[in-house]
């Protein structure tokens, strides 16, 4: 019998260790043929940005990501899925979000990770505020129509 | 009493992250709630000026503006999400 | 000015270190918003398989992957791309292939890694032979029509 | 002399990984080469039985079967690829 498909969801201040999370997801099983890892990073926006500040709705953020992950596991028959989102101040070059999808074949793993990111962007209650290199606090990042369109392509 | 929670620029403009509030019986939906809050002061009016961009969650689940709020323990108001 | 988009291609017997390869690709730059990593693993096929034996055409294998990678960098405006393919005997659960795509935004990174894998499967001169757990040497793995179809969707 | 290289089950059936061979002037294309090699013995005939599945590379680049082989330094014959 195949092992269950473990789903891990975390929201945390600390950075994550992609290798350790991947090892945890694949440990003790040899039925997976594909791992797709997505890591979202803070860009410096051409040197303009000093940091992003990530705010979230505790409880709902974890629950929304959890629901998205369960949908992805079912829809793409994933063998495992991990999603970790950081909050707090994040400097350019640092990690923001991690999704790891484990599947027997590559297309399911690619689709699973991509699906989670497209839904997470539009459904999970996180907000980004920009802090600029010149000391000004920028505004809140606007939601993008392109993210809604990306999500819509899955329905 | 109903617990209201605010995030991002909704929180900043209203000037607090949460509050417990007595809602009049006439406030039956999310839309009613937004209109009621806007009568409570300039901060609320500014935060909720563009009603159509405000997202509403009842008991930590997304709902449409016309959803009834009866029995809600916690209602959250926030801007479109920008995580990931 | 943006740094150039480094492309790394290797064919090797030894395992690869995903974290080290990722760190090398992102070192010294903060203009990337997305890393997509694909790792292909040897499946045990329900316990039937003892090992895969990977053969390649030295020289041509590296050149083909290099051409695929250059196409991907241009087509998806990637900031960097690494592709490593192992050869020799590989046990179930072990790594076979690694692709890491670095981009400003997530869709380019997903598409870049997926494109490289779809082309690599059908164009790069590698062949897999199965060794079974019961001691028999299995046949050579057949090419799959689904891989040709996956490649065709990019053209 | 032209260098021929074989991979996977083509290599196993022919019984060698490479060889240098003198090709008759009548062998002008990849298809001509496959037909010529099949006359060299049962091993070749078995390896190249289904010509349409055999892939050909000249100087380490994929070519169609009707491609001229004139001037080729190295011609490779192999089954459909199964890497990744």
Closest CA of chain C from D10, distance in Å: 11
ipTM above 0.85, yes or no: yes
Q: Hey, what domains does chain B have and what are their CATH numbers?
A: 2-78 (3.10.20.30)
The number of angstroms, rounded, from the C-alpha of C56 to the middle of its chain's C-alpha atoms is: 14
Interface of C with A in 40-99 (CB under 8 A): 40-44, 46, 92-93
Res. A138: pLDDT tops 80: no
C102 near A CB under 8 A: no
Which pLDDT score, from 0 to 100, does residue A1 have?
41
Please give the share of chain A, as a percent, with pLDDT higher than 90: 90
* Residue to substitute from C43, C55, C90, interface D, most D β-carbons within 10 A: C55
Q: Inspect the interface and report whether the beta carbons of B83 and A59 lie closer than 8 Å.
A: no
B50 near A CB under 8 A: no
The predicted model scores a pTM of 0.95
A8-12, C1-5, C83-87, C109-113: which has the minimum mean pLDDT? C1-5
- Rounded to a whole number of angstroms, the CA Rg of chain A reads 16
Q: Stretch B53-79: mean pLDDT, rounded?
A: 97
Q: Stretch A75-93: mean pLDDT, rounded?
A: 98
Res. A2: pLDDT tops 70: no
Residue A136 banded pLDDT, cuts 50, 70, 90: confident
Contact flag for A and C (3+ C-beta pairs < 8 Å) = yes
Which pLDDT score, from 0 to 100, does residue A3 have?
54
Q: Hey, what domains does chain C have and what are their CATH numbers?
A: 7-152 (3.90.1170.40)
Residues from chain C contacting residue A43 (CB–CB below 8 Å): 30-33, 104
Residues from chain D contacting residue C139 (CB–CB below 8 Å): 9
Question: How many residue contacts between A and B have a Cβ separation below 8 Å?
Answer: 70
Res. B21: pLDDT tops 80: yes
As a whole number of angstroms, the distance between CA C18 and CA C95 comes to 10
Which of A57, A97, A142 shows the shortest C-beta gap to B84? A97
Res. A24: pLDDT tops 80: yes
Closest CA of chain C from D61, distance in Å: 7
Closest CA of chain A from B22, distance in Å: 23
Res. A37: pLDDT tops 70: yes
Q: With b meaning 16 or more CB within 10 Å and e meaning fewer, what string describes A114-139?
A: bbbbbbbbbbbbbbbbbbeeeeeebe
C33 near A CB under 8 A: yes
Q: What is the pLDDT of residues C6-30, one digit of tens each?
A: 999 999 999 999 999 999 999 999 9
As a whole number of angstroms, the distance between CA B17 and CA A56 comes to 12
> Quick one: closest CA in A to B11, which residue?
A55
Q: What is the pLDDT of residues C61-120, one digit of tens each?
A: 999 999 999 999 999 999 999 999 999 999 999 999 999 999 999 999 999 999 999 999
Q: Inspect the interface and report whether the beta carbons of A40 and C33 lie closer than 8 Å.
A: yes
Please give the share of chain D, as a percent, with pLDDT higher than 90: 99
Q: Inspect the interface and report whether the beta carbons of C120 and D79 lie closer than 8 Å.
A: no
A102 near C CB under 8 A: no
Work out the burial of residue D5: count CB atoms within 10 Å of its CB; fewer than 13 is exposed, 13-18 middle, 19 or more buried. buried
A18 near C CB under 8 A: yes
B59 near A CB under 8 A: no
Which pLDDT score, from 0 to 100, does residue A137 have?
82
Half-sphere exposure of residue D63: CA atoms within 13 angstroms, side-chain side: 21
Which pLDDT score, from 0 to 100, does residue C1 have?
41
Q: Stretch D15-41: mean pLDDT, rounded?
A: 97
- Quote the tokens at residue D7: 């991979």
Q: What is the pLDDT of residues C41-70, one digit of tens each?
A: 999 999 999 999 999 999 999 999 999 999
Residues from chain C contacting residue A92 (CB–CB below 8 Å): 30
Q: Stretch A36-48: mean pLDDT, rounded?
A: 96
> Quick one: closest CA in A to B62, which residue?
A123
Q: What is the pLDDT of residues B28-47, one digit of tens each?
A: 999 999 999 999 999 999 99
Contacts of C34 by beta carbon, 8 Å cutoff, 6+ apart: A38, A39, A40, A41, C102, C103, C104, C105, C106, C108, C109, C110
Residue B81 banded pLDDT, cuts 50, 70, 90: very high
Instruction: For the beta carbon of residue C73, count every other beta carbon within 10 angstroms.
Output: 22
């Amino acid at each position: 019998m195949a092992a269950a498909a473990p789903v891990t969801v975390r929201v945390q201040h600390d950075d994550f260790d992609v290798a350790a999370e991947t090892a945890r997801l694949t440990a003790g099983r040899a039925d997976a043929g594909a791992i797709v890892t997505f890591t979202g990073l803070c860009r410096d926006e051409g040197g303009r940005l000093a940091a992003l500040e990530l705010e979230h709705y505790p409880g709902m953020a974890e629950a929304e990501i959890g629901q998205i992950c369960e949908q992805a596991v079912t829809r793409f028959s994933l063998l495992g899925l991990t999603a970790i989102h950081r909050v707090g101040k994040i400097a350019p070059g640092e990690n923001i979000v991690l999704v790891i999808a484990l599947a027997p074949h590559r297309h399911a793993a690619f689709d699973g990770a991509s699906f989670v990111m497209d839904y997470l962007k539009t459904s999970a209650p996180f907000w980004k505020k920009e802090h600029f290199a010149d000391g000004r606090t920028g505004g809140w990042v606007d939601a993008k129509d392109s993210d809604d369109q990306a999500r819509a392509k899955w329905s | 009493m109903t617990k209201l929670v605010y995030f991002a620029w909704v929180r900043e403009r209203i000037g607090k992250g949460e509050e417990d509030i007595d809602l009049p019986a006439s406030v039956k939906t999310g839309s009613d709630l937004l209109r009621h809050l806007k009568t409570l002061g300039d901060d609320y009016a500014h935060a909720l000026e563009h009603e159509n961009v405000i997202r509403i969650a009842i008991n930590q689940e997304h709902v449409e503006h016309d959803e009834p709020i009866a029995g809600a323990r916690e209602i959250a108001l926030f801007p479109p999400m920008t995580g990931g």
